[in-house]
């Protein structure tokens, strides 16, 4: 105690201050430290939960990405099949159309040839008839002009020999 007095420290005051300090400590522990710890624990829990959720989310995201990739692969495969089929159908259709067009053009050509031939024959027949008519008229005129009585007699005599 003497030492404390020598140092200028009042023992009683110190004691009182100690008591005050303890009381403050108890009060602080009761009303501040506990809730802060609780808050900290809650925060830690929340952060842990958040991290866990984030990890799960990441995992799910990865799964989704994988599924997405699989779907994409399938879709691409399907698309390729559709394209291939479409190409085949298009080629087949084109071939059919070409064959049909060729067939039709051949028919038209054949018909045109036939028509030309018929026209030709018709014109030839007309010309032939026309020429034959002219020959007949000319022959009739020649006979009428040249066949006199004497020649007619000769003709009759030749007929009965």
Q: Which of residues 7-26 bind another protein (CB under 8 A)?
A: none
Nearer to another protein, 59 or 153 (CB): 153
DSSP 58-76: HHHHHHHHHHHHHHHHHHH
Could you say whether residue 35 binds another protein (CB under 8 A)?
no
Is 153 a binding residue for another protein by CB under 8 A? The answer is yes
Among 41, 110, 121, 152, binds another protein (CB under 8 A): 152
**Number of residues located near another protein, criterion CB under 8 A:** 22
Cα angle 42-45-50, degrees, rounded to a multiple of 5: 125
Angle CA(110)–CA(121)–CA(102) in degrees, nearest 5?
5
Backbone angles phi, psi at 160, to 5 degrees: -105, 15
Q: If binding is defined by CB under 8 A, does position 160 make contact with another protein?
A: yes
Output the smallest distance, CB 119 to another protein, in A.
18
**Least distance from another protein to the Cβ atom of residue 149, Å:** 6
Q: Which is nearer to another protein, 6 or 159 (CB)?
A: 159
Task: Between 100 and 135, name the residue whose CB sits nearer to another protein.
Answer: 135
Residues 110 to 129 in contact with another protein, rule: CB under 8 A: 128-129
Sign of the torsion formed by the C-alpha atoms of 85, 90, 95 and 97: positive
Interface ranges with another protein (CB under 8 A): 128-129, 131-133, 135-136, 139-140, 143-144, 147, 149, 151-153, 155-157, 159-161
């Amino acid at each position: 105690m003497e030492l404390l007095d020598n140092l200028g420290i009042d023992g009683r005051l110190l004691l009182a201050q100690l008591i005050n300090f303890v009381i403050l400590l108890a009060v602080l522990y009761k009303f501040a430290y506990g809730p802060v710890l609780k808050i900290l624990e809650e925060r830690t829990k929340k952060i842990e939960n958040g991290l866990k959720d984030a990890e799960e989310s990441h995992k799910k995201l990865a799964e989704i990405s994988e599924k997405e990739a699989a779907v994409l692969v399938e879709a691409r495969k399907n698309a390729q099949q559709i394209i291939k089929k479409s190409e085949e159908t298009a080629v087949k259709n084109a071939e059919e159309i070409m064959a049909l067009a060729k067939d039709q053009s051949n028919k038209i050509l054949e018909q045109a040839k036939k028509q030309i031939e018929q026209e030709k024959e018709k014109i030839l027949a007309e010309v032939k008839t026309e020429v034959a008519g002219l020959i007949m008229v000319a022959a009739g005129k020649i006979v009428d002009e040249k066949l006199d009585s004497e020649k007619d007699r000769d003709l009759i005599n030749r007929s009965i020999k």
